[in-house]
Amino acid sequence: MSSSDADLACCASQDDAPLLRRVVAPSRSQWEWITSICCALSYACTYFWRYPAFVLPPDVLDVPVRGGFTLRSCISFAFIGGFAAAKLPAAHFASSRLFFRHRRTLLLSLITSSMLIEGAGLAAPHPAAKVGAVFASAFLSSFLWGCMLTYLEGRVTTERHVALATLCLIYAGNASRGALVSSSSSSSSSSS
């Protein structure tokens, strides 16, 4: 190899080096905010898969299930029952060593499982499957807020992270209900 080839090879490697240096890993503080924003937004998204069960078309919701109860009332009972039944297990789980060792993985698993169970269950043809899916999804969703707060606590800026999560919670609750009201009113006006 000639000296000019060696000079070109040296220059090529030096030209590549600044590109690598420009890619800067986020600082610890930036990672905390990225994590906080992701937690807040993912929790906010849970509202958009929880509430659609209540605005299914009337031909789906008004199907009798058992004892004179319609699917609409059974889904309501399952929703409330799932949240109520999970309170003590969720408190135990959020304070367990298992959760502390694997917080991010378990939190993501809870969010994903809750979404998939409700989505798949509501697509099932049998009313009991729909009710069971809403109960299971509500049960898992009951874990989310406490686990998310446990995940965010212990940081210097915990209060700011919780404030962001609360802001997203308030917005998402109202936005999901508003989106559902507008979708149900547009579907009822198109069916008339």
CA–CA separation, 66 and 135 (whole Å)? 16
Comparing 70 with 156, which gets the higher pLDDT? 70
The pLDDT score that the predictor gives to residue 167 is 85
CA–CA separation, 140 and 86 (whole Å)? 7
The encoded tokens of residue 127 equal: 């009313």
Percent of the chain with pLDDT over 70: 79
Report the pLDDT averaged over residues 6-17.
Answer: 50
Of 27-31, 34-38, 108-112, 186-190, which gets the smallest average pLDDT?
186-190
**Is pLDDT at 57 greater than 90 in this prediction?**
no
Residues 184 and 53: beta-carbon distance below 8 Å = no
The encoded tokens of residue 135 equal: 């109960």
CA–CA separation, 91 and 110 (whole Å)? 14
Comparing 186 with 155, which gets the higher pLDDT? 155
Q: Mean pLDDT in the chain?
A: 79
What confidence tens digit (pLDDT) does each residue in 81-125 have? Answer: 999 999 999 999 999 999 999 988 888 888 888 888 888 888 888
Q: Which of 14-23, 49-58, 98-107 has the highest mean pLDDT?
A: 98-107
Residue type at 83 in one-letter notation: F
CA–CA separation, 114 and 53 (whole Å)? 13
User: In angstroms, what CA-CA distances link 93 with 7, 33, 54, 118, 164?
Assistant: 61, 25, 29, 21, 24
Residue 145: how many other CB atoms lie within 10 Å: 16
Burial (CB count <10 Å: 0-12, 13-18, 19+), residue 180: middle
